[in-house]
Amino acid sequence: MVSRSIFICFVVFQCFFSFAQNKVLTDYKIIGNQTGLSQLNTTQLKEYFKGKYTLWNSGKSVKVVLHSSQSQHAPILSKLIYNTTQQGVQKYWLSLVFQGRANPPVFLDNDADIVNYVNKTPGAIGLIDRNSSCPSNLIIQFK
């Protein structure tokens, strides 16, 4: 009975892992408010989301918006951007903030909350599902 439970857990894990592997960053929209950017490549996107830059060219502070652990996108984006788990992302940011190298990101539960926050916050950048709606002036294109 125990080995059957382990097998079922393994199959569920494999299915989830396969799903996450098939997702790519271009399955998401980059959105930003007054960032001065019209497009980003994958490397640049990861650098902003990893806190490499704290200011936009305009002088506004970079405000990273991430999916919280309540979001279905959190584990996928954690793997795609940070190559770790959601818990690993939280530890990563805790370390940066503790060292004084970055401001903490904002964690929100869903795409609608992320769009709302980015729309109201100059310098904010986030990722939402490409099928989620948002004002066209917030969209930053992938190069």
Q: DSSP letters of 76-120? A: HHIIIIISS-HHHHHHHHHHHHHTTSSPPPEEESSHHHHHHHHHH
Q: Which residues contact 113 (CB under 8 A, 6 or more apart)?
A: none
Please classify residue 77 by burial: count the beta carbons closer than 10 Å to its beta carbon, then call 0-12 exposed, 13-18 middle and 19+ buried.
buried
76-124 tens-digit pLDDT: 999 999 999 999 999 999 999 999 999 999 999 999 999 999 999 999 9
All structural domains of the chain, each given as residue ranges with its CATH number in brackets, are: 26-142 (3.40.190.10)
Q: Which residue has the tokens 């004002």?
A: 135
SS3 call for 125: strand
39-72 tens-digit pLDDT: 999 999 999 999 999 999 888 999 999 999 999 9
